[in-house]
Amino acid sequence: MPFETPLALAALASIIPLIILYLLKPKPLQVQVPSLMFLLDIKEEKKRFYTSITKLIKDPLFLIQLLVLILLALAAAAPYLETQEALSGEHTVLIIDASASMQTDDRFDDAISKAEDYVSKKNSIILAESTPVTILEGEGSQATYDALDSLEAKATVADISSAVSAGMRMLSGEGGNIVVISDFASWNGDDPVNALKLAESYGLTVQFVLVGNDADNVGFIQGSIEVEDGSYTYTGVVKNYHNSRQIVDIEIERLDSGKTNTASLNIPARSTKQLRITSLGTGITEVRIKDDDSLPADNIAYISIPRISDRELLYVTDTDDLPSEVALSLIPNIDLKQLEGIPDDLSGYNIVVIANKERALAGNEIATLSSYLNNGGRAVFIASEALSSENALTELEELLPVRPLTVEDAEDGVTLEVVQETRLSEDIKYEEVAMYQYLNVTGRIDSTTLVATEEEIPMLVYGSVGDGTVVYFGINDLTGEEAWNNFHNLPEYPVFWFKLAGWLGGTGSVQEYNLKTGTISALAKELEITTPSGTETVSRVLYDQTGVYKVAGKEIAVNLYNDKESDTSLEGDDVIERAQADDEPGLVRASSYTAKNYLDTYMIIIVFALVILELLIIRKRGEL
């Protein structure tokens, strides 16, 4: 019989004290008759041992207590019996397409209505967005109905295949059913039918349910912002999905100033027209299609122009002309000041970069930096000998999001990989960085690693210190024969520093203020943000609604800008036909699973019964 926690069997040793206790237990006083004393003494030595053992075995209390200890030890070890059980159909995973096209007319309401028809004894709900969002897992019918009533369609492109894969993981133990409800208008990732066939090959029952009807639409499918003659110009593309020419009236409202303009586009059937808006002011501008149609998600183009402000950056280094300093000095609206040490007052700086290569920070500098970070400051530490455990003071190590060890050599080089996709990894080819020397570190529990080596040594990590943010950048920027790597020679190097400066609270690029739905960004710490539908406290933002998000003091405009999602004509019949094709998938998994039937509960019940029996025996003896 196997055990889940066999180490608990060590508790069986508790029967030894019990046996010793009973052997040493005082015996009743016996009065010996002198005339028989001689005969009894002859046999006493032979019978003494056997008598003690016999009394132990015949004592019901001893046997009960011995059995109780054995059963408790076995129960703690969690014994179980393995049996082959048929895959269950009681667990149903409801996958509901929450993409932008599901906002068309009543498609999403129809999807919720149909989902209610498939609710079973045990249910899970997954929203198919740009990434699967688990709403409910393994709950009963009433909780499922309540969750379904609270759902809303989003404004992303659904990755249905990934949602099906997430459902497969939920049912990997006991099996069950997957129901996918969608208009199947468009999707990201693999073909949903391929995901269906794969799930069926694992013995799962998968059903595709089509919702929606054809509808007409006019919407924004593209938008870009460029700098022309010192000012911002927006170019939007509006598409007419009607089968007839449409006159599209547009209203342009600059929310900061309250000024409103209008425009009109004459767009032929199934065609597009461009709209240009010049001299955009700072803040939010809304460009609206005035006539309502079947899909509201693409009727407004949101534009965000950051309010420009100079940023003071302190660059502390003991080495001149480092590539990171050059890259930071070239960023617009950054006033960079270089010093050899940390001054007593850092309140005037938005960002502090520590790039010392040999000189470790002194205790008073660390204290100043700690106060700066605790009060909301932002600091970046670049890896070097000065940060190694041999040189850095303990007080400095407590500020870092990593625990530094020693500098390591890698003659064959180590490669980097992105651990978490963020804007700091977009357009940066970390895999092309050749690392021949690096500072070996371990990440702290409360830190977040974005880039690491293949051996999982953190290279780009951030964490919080009080109200501030600290970043560890493990790619040293020494040049020449002393270089640790080649990153400073790559064209992406200045791009990285531009992105990092913007991410740490600077204005950054205007593109960082104008995103497409489905974008995911990591925050330096858990923050309360404002979404188009309310407020949330998150450490990672999924931009799945159109509108304006307020994140860390930034107003971020989010738009759908997707031709396929804006096309509200229904073409999902092809997916249903292919899903219902008769080609049977080859089973890669049997129709049963190995179930563990635990016996500990039964043992506990027997223990309670034995304890009651022991009390009855003690009471009968008059000892209770």
Q: How confident is the model over 355-382, as pLDDT tens digits?
A: 999 999 999 999 999 999 999 899 999 9
Q: What is the 3-state secondary structure (H, E, C) of 253-304?
A: EECCCCEEEEEEEEECCCCEEEEEEEEECCEEEEEEECCCCCCHHHCEEEEE
Mean pLDDT of the chain: 86
The predicted model gives 419-438 an average pLDDT of: 87
Confidence of residue 407 (pLDDT cuts 50, 70, 90): very high
Q: Which carries the bigger pLDDT value, residue 503 or residue 240?
A: 240
Nearest in space to 194 (alpha carbons), one of 165, 158, 156: 165
Q: What amino acid is encoded at 63 in this protein?
A: L
**Closest-CA residue to 569 (of 179, 243, 154, 113):** 243
Phi-psi region of 477 (alpha: psi -120 to 50; beta: other; left: phi over 0): alpha
Q: How confident is the model at residue 125 (pLDDT cuts 50, 70, 90)?
A: very high
pLDDT per position as a tens digit, 469-480: 999 999 999 998
Cα–Cα distance, 353 to 383 (Å, whole number): 11
In this prediction, residue 103 has a pLDDT band, given cuts at 50, 70 and 90, of: very high
Higher per-residue pLDDT: 78 or 450: 450
Continuous segment of H or E residues that includes residue 93: strand 91-97
pLDDT at 42: 46
The pTM of the full predicted model, rounded to 2 decimals, is: 0.60
What's the confidence (pLDDT) of residue 619? Answer: 78
- HSE-up of residue 183 (Cα within 13 Å, Cβ side): 30
Strands (E), 362-424: 378-382, 402-414, 416-418
Average confidence (pLDDT) over 613-621: 79
Residue 40 clears pLDDT 90, i.e. is over it? no
Question: Is 240's pLDDT higher than 50?
Answer: yes
Cβ contact 99:186 at 8 Å? yes
Asked whether residue 611 carries a pLDDT value surpassing 70, the answer given is: yes
- The reported pLDDT for the residue numbered 279 is 87
- The shares of helix, strand and coil residues in the chain, as percent rounded to the nearest 5, are 30, 35, 35
Q: Please, which pLDDT band fits residue 331 given cuts at 50, 70 and 90? A: confident
Average pLDDT over residues 535-543: 93
In 298-393, alpha helices (H)? 323-329, 363-374
The Cα 284–Cα 514 span in angstroms is 10
DSSP class of residue 33 equals: P
